[in-house]
């Protein structure tokens, strides 16, 4: 069983934790909360983490960072690097770790194990009958669960309508902020576009 540590500030990763536990109950998630407000500069970031952080990391396979504070994330990356544990920190520009633009643009990366087999850039299997979507299997999707919820909404639609619709439905369920991030892109737009493109690809493959 893959052991995943989740570090979040003010519950910012709560919906992703909920969805991952629901969709992959075989993954072992341990969640650690840091409550704010936090100053712009945290001089002693280690004080915000469990005292046995290094021991926890020694038994971990993956870390998900939802701290969104440079000093806290920097300290966490230092400790993970020392422990040899990979880190996923979506929506940030960092010199270390796996930092996709959004959680639904994470690639299939071997060292991320079972987590990345199920969560990341969307992949579908689509069944079409008489020009309509007869069924959708989500092979891989966003860890917030938006992919699975959006897929349910397009079954029965004409294929031509389903392709843009799945993008819109994904945006409806997405928890990304609706404003440009450090990549100068709108995360909601990115989520919609990657889902529509993946769905179109699945339709073409039949």
- pLDDT score recorded for residue 183: 53
Q: Kindly report, residue by residue over 147-174, the tens digit of the pLDDT.
A: 999 999 999 999 999 999 999 999 999 9
Topology, domain 3-99: Rossmann fold (3.40.50)
Alpha helices in 122-185 (DSSP H): 146-154, 159-173
Q: Kindly report, residue by residue over 181-202, the tens digit of the pLDDT.
A: 555 568 888 999 999 999 999 9
Can you give the pTM of this predicted structure? 0.92
In angstroms, the CA 151 to CA 140 distance is 12
Annotated domain spans of the chain: 3-99, 123-205
In angstroms, the CA 202 to CA 42 distance is 46
Q: Kindly report, residue by residue over 44-75, the tens digit of the pLDDT.
A: 999 999 999 999 999 999 999 999 999 999 99
Architecture of domain 123-205: Alpha-Beta Complex (3.90)
Same fold, 3-99 and 123-205: no
- pLDDT score recorded for residue 182: 52
């Amino acid at each position: 069983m893959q052991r995943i540590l989740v570090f979040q500030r003010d519950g910012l990763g709560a919906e992703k934790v909920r969805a991952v536990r629901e969709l992959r109950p075989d993954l072992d998630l341990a969640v650690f909360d840091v409550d704010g407000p936090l100053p712009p500069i945290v001089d002693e970031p280690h004080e915000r983490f469990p005292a046995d952080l290094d021991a926890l990391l020694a038994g971990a396979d993956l870390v998900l960072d939802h701290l969104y504070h440079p000093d806290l994330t920097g300290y966490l990356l230092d400790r993970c690097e020392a422990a040899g544990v990979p880190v996923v920190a979506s929506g940030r520009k960092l010199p270390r770790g796996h930092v996709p633009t959004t959680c639904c643009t994470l690639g299939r990366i071997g060292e991320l194990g079972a987590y990345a087999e199920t969560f990341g850039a969307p992949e579908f299997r689509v069944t079409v009958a008489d020009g309509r979507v007869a069924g959708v299997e989500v092979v891989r999707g966003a860890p917030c669960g938006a992919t699975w919820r959006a897929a349910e909404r397009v079954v029965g639609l004409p294929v031509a309508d389903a392709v843009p619709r799945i993008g819109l439905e994904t945006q409806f369920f997405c928890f990304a902020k609706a404003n440009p991030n450090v990549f100068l892109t709108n995360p909601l737009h990115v989520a919609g576009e990657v889902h529509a493109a993946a769905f179109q690809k699945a339709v073409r493959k039949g």
